[in-house]
């Protein structure tokens, strides 16, 4: 049973100030989770988490994470501009992009960001634009399938990202010839994994590759970026990843593979988004309509523009009817928004307590890839973002859009 991090009484207080729908974030939970992650990898002196900005691109959230020692992983021009405004600079910024426009490489270089190249052809592009920096990273794609214990499988061979091993060997050699002195290695092989074995397995792949690259090219590999992929349990009863066990599994692989290869000083980086923020954000919405035809429908004042994941690929998000947590879930509903699209459904055939008009519903685990995936279809407007501070106060950290915002870019 998932429990919201906010009570009904507190929500009533918040909704008296801010109209629904809105995304609500839990500062205490965010900070505590960032500290757990940092402690799990404290055995590696150079460790740093580079938060995936695309997951939750809000400056107040980014400032909190920076205070907790995190860097920022960016993948676009505006994300680079955002973290610059927040105060990130130099090696606090990782720039990982693909099919990268020239202006993005130029700004990343200007900010002193660590550039993580996605493709062999980008070497000459970067050289001609700004020159090759002394520290550079490259993304690896092993191809084929990647599986763990027959439960997690992804298909790197179908992904558009990264170098092949052969390209990395040639690329590292070429980059050294162009002035690169220190190298990083990066890979992302599976998404939202619910097993403590994923990161250690990925680490082993990268550690073996790093040792081989050092042997074949002589490159000074100073860091390895394990990227993201550590998941969260969207459904009640799913496995909860234990970051302490994950960190320990990576440590064992490090000592078994890198240390004997003379690479015991390599720093480890992560770029987690969903794990960092997902459980510490909720979408707060209100039941405003009901419909009784072939199915029972509850219409809410949020829609897919506020949370795209269920409409986009049927993702599950748990729903709590606030104040009715202890009542039997004996009513079957589709919980839907108002878009003129039949996939605008937060839940299908979901068993919930009886929902009455005006009830507040909390849609869980929207702290990452929630607001950030919003859009303006049907002329709908994106909602506010509210931060629940550690002291119990609230702060609007992004106002809701208005019709004036919608019309601001139009020309009549």
Which 3-state string (H, E, C) describes 249-300?
A: HHHHHHHHHHHHHCCCCCEEEECCCHHHHHHHEEEEEEEEEEEECCCEEEEE
* Stretch among 109-123, 135-149, 176-190, 290-304 having the lowest mean pLDDT: 135-149
Residue of 70, 138, 303, 340 marked catalytic: 340
- Predicted pLDDT of residue 128: 98
- Predicted pLDDT of residue 190: 85
Please give the angle made by the CA atoms of 372, 337 and 298, to the nearest 5 degrees. Answer: 135
Contact assessment for residue 229 and residue 190, using Cβ atoms and an 8 Å cutoff? yes
- Predicted pLDDT of residue 143: 78
- Predicted pLDDT of residue 157: 65
Q: Is 138 a catalytic residue?
A: no
Q: What is the mean pLDDT of residues 309-336?
A: 97
Structure tokens at 207: 């550690």
Q: What is the mean pLDDT of residues 82-86?
A: 98
Q: To which residue do tokens 């000083």 refer? A: 265
* Predicted confidence (pLDDT) at residue 152 exceeds the cutoff of 60: no
Separation between Cα atoms, residue 126 and residue 408, nearest integer Å: 35
* Stretch among 104-108, 158-162, 194-198, 406-410 having the lowest mean pLDDT: 158-162
Q: What is the mean pLDDT of residues 68-85?
A: 98
Q: Spell out the domain ranges in the chain.
A: 8-23+279-408, 28-277
Separation between Cα atoms, residue 337 and residue 98, nearest integer Å: 34
- Predicted pLDDT of residue 75: 97
- Predicted pLDDT of residue 72: 98
- Predicted pLDDT of residue 27: 98
Q: What is the mean pLDDT of residues 178-187?
A: 98
- Predicted pLDDT of residue 161: 87
Report pTM. 0.95
Taking alpha carbons only, the member of 126, 128, 158, 160 closest to residue 144 is 158
* Predicted confidence (pLDDT) at residue 189 exceeds the cutoff of 90: no
Give me Rg for the CA atoms of the chain.
23
345-392 pLDDT tens trace: 999 999 999 999 999 999 999 999 999 999 999 999 999 999 999 999
* Predicted confidence (pLDDT) at residue 123 exceeds the cutoff of 70: yes
* Predicted confidence (pLDDT) at residue 60 exceeds the cutoff of 50: yes
28-277 to CATH, choices 1.20.1740.10, 2.30.30.140, 3.20.20.300, 3.20.20.10: 3.20.20.10
CATH class of 8-23+279-408: mainly beta
Q: How many CB atoms lie within 10 A of CB 121?
A: 11
> What are the b/e assignments for 258-287, b being 16+ CB within 10 Å?
beebebeebebbbbbbbbbbbbbbbbbbbb
- Helix/strand/coil for 201: helix
- Partnered with residue 298 across adjacent β-strands are 290, 335
212-246 pLDDT tens trace: 999 999 999 999 999 999 999 999 999 999 999 99
- Partnered with residue 93 across adjacent β-strands are 72
Q: How many percent of the chain have pLDDT more than 90?
A: 94
Q: What is the mean pLDDT of residues 34-43?
A: 98
- Predicted pLDDT of residue 160: 84
Q: To which residue do tokens 């009542």 refer? A: 327
Q: What is the mean pLDDT of residues 31-48?
A: 98
Mean pLDDT over the full length of the chain: 96
Cα 232 versus chain centre, distance:
11
- Predicted pLDDT of residue 153: 46
């Amino acid at each position: 049973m998932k429990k919201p991090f906010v009570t009904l009484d507190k929500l009533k207080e918040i909704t008296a100030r801010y109209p629904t729908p809105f995304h609500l974030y839990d500062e205490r939970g965010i900070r505590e989770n960032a500290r757990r992650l940092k402690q799990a990898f404290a055995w590696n002196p150079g460790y740093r988490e580079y938060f995936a900005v695309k997951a939750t691109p809000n400056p107040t959230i980014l400032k909190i994470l920076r205070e907790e020692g995190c860097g920022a992983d960016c993948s676009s021009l505006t994300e680079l501009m955002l973290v610059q405004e927040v105060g990130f600079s130099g090696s606090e910024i990782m720039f990982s992009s693909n099919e990268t426009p020239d202006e993005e490489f130029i700004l990343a270089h200007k900010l002193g960001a660590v550039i993580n190249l996605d493709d062999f052809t980008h070497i000459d592009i970067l050289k001609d634009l700004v020159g090759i920096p002394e520290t550079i990273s490259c993304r690896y794609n092993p191809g084929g399938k990647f599986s763990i214990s027959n439960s997690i499988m992804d298909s790197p061979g179908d992904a558009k990202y990264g170098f092949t091993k052969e390209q990395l060997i040639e690329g590292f050699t070429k980059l050294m010839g162009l002035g690169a002195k220190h190298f990083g290695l990066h890979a992302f092989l599976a998404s939202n994994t619910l097993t403590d074995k994923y990161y250690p397995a990925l680490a082993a792949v990268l550690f073996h590759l790093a040792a081989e690259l050092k042997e074949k090219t002589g490159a000074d590999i100073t860091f390895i970026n394990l990227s993201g992929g550590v998941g969260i349990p969207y459904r009640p009863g799913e496995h909860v990843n234990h970051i302490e066990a994950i960190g320990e599994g990576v440590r064992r692989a490090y000592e078994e593979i890198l240390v004997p290869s003379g690479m015991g000083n390599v720093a480890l980086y992560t770029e987690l988004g969903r794990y960092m923020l997902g459980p510490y954000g909720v979408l707060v919405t209100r039941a405003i309509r009901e419909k009784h035809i072939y199915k029972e429908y509850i219409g809410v004042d949020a829609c897919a523009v506020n949370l795209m994941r269920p409409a986009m690929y049927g993702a599950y998000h748990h729903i709590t009817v606030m104040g009715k947590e202890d009542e039997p879930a004996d009513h079957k509903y589709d919980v839907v928004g108002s878009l003129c699209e039949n996939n605008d459904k937060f839940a299908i055939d979901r068993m919930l307590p009886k929902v009455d008009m005006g009830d507040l519903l909390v849609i869980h685990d929207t702290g990452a890839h929630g607001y950030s995936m919003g859009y303006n279809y049907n002329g709908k407007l994106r909602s506010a973002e509210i931060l629940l501070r550690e002291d119990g106060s609230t702060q609007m950290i992004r106002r809701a859009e208005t019709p004036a915002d919608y019309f601001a870019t139009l020309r009549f």
